[in-house]
Amino acid sequence: MSSDITLYTWTTGNGFKVSITLEELGLPYKTEAINISTNRQKEEWFLNINPNGRIPAILDGGQRVFESGAIMTYLVDKYDTERKISYAPGTPEHVEQTCWLMFQMSGIGPMQGQANHFRFFAGARSDYGIKRYIEETKRLYSVLESRLQESTYLAGEKFTIADIASYPWVSGAPVSLQIDLSEFPALNKWVEEIGKRPAVQKGVAVPHFWPQEDMAELFKKCRANIDAMTNSDQH
């Protein structure tokens, strides 16, 4: 099937969900790097593609799609005719696929996103905020752990977009939030297995490769910055 896809993205968990999906499907696509630290995502032209002013987004010919979960769903609905990374609608596994995709979109993404905010980028230090969101992230990981103790992948025995949605967030957590994945053995094994997939390795290098050491260095600096502030919580 022909496609004319442009991916607007940056080196973040939400961006990687879409580049991994595109790589797994083997679809050709152009990449437009949107460096979110320069606020390019808030420019007028981009708001026509994603009115929410965030990455990722795609244009497929004249069709815009924003919200990473909607983009992944759109891509498999339209292009995954061989069901490489999705289950067929109407099957119990497809229902599970949707449940775990939504679990990431409404749980892990927002909660871990807030943990990142309080731990790295906040304008004031809040030990309460750091603890609340890291604990909640870990609670959500324990839900993934329970599921992965009974099932190889989140939706069933096949690797799907449900796994792709959570993978970049969970795999980045040890380096960013210093979450020890050995507390979650089945989840840890799932991360290791998924990390071996060639399409995943390609997808996490879009729009450019960001060496793990540089990433670790940046997060370390951000944590030190917050730690140097006086805790501003009101008791």
Q: Which residue is nearest to ligand GSH (CB)?
A: 54
Among 68, 86, 112, 126, binds ligand GSH (CB under 6 A): 68
- Cβ atoms of 168 and 195 within 8 Å: the answer is no
CA separation, residue 12 to residues 21, 55, 100, 128 (Å) = 14, 9, 20, 25
In DSSP notation, 64-115 reads EEESHHHHHHHHHHHH-TT-SSSPPTTSHHHHHHHHHHHHIIIIIHHHHHHH
* Interaction mask 76-115, ligand GSH, x per CB under 6 A: ---------------------------------x------
CB of 36 to ligand GSH, least distance (A): 4
Nearer to ligand GSH, 137 or 188 (CB): 137
Q: What DSSP state is assigned to residue 210?
A: -
Nearer to ligand GSH, 14 or 160 (CB): 14
CB of 59 to ligand GSH, least distance (A): 15
Handedness of CA 22, 192, 132, 143 (dihedral sign): positive
Nearer to ligand GSH, 53 or 174 (CB): 53
Q: How far apart are CA 107 and CA 125, in angstroms?
A: 23
CA separation, residue 62 to residues 116, 121, 150 (Å) = 34, 36, 42
Bridging pattern class, strands 63-66 and 29-33: unpaired
> Which tokens sit at 229?
């502030």
Nearer to ligand GSH, 86 or 114 (CB): 114
> Which tokens sit at 89?
């609608």
Q: Based on the shown chain and the rule CB under 6 A, indicate whether residue 12 belongs to the binding site for ligand GSH.
A: yes
Q: Based on the shown chain and the rule CB under 6 A, indicate whether residue 137 belongs to the binding site for ligand GSH.
A: no
Q: Based on the shown chain and the rule CB under 6 A, indicate whether residue 41 belongs to the binding site for ligand GSH.
A: yes
Q: How far apart are CA 54 and CA 183, in angstroms?
A: 32
CB of 43 to ligand GSH, least distance (A): 11
Among 67, 151, 175, 222, binds ligand GSH (CB under 6 A): 67
Q: Based on the shown chain and the rule CB under 6 A, indicate whether residue 55 belongs to the binding site for ligand GSH.
A: yes
Nearer to ligand GSH, 86 or 112 (CB): 112
Q: Based on the shown chain and the rule CB under 6 A, indicate whether residue 166 belongs to the binding site for ligand GSH.
A: no
CB of 73 to ligand GSH, least distance (A): 12
Q: Based on the shown chain and the rule CB under 6 A, indicate whether residue 54 belongs to the binding site for ligand GSH.
A: yes
Cis geometry, peptide bond prior to residue 207 (ω within 30 degrees of 0): yes
Binding site for ligand GSH (CB under 6 A): 12-14, 36, 41, 53-56, 67-68, 109
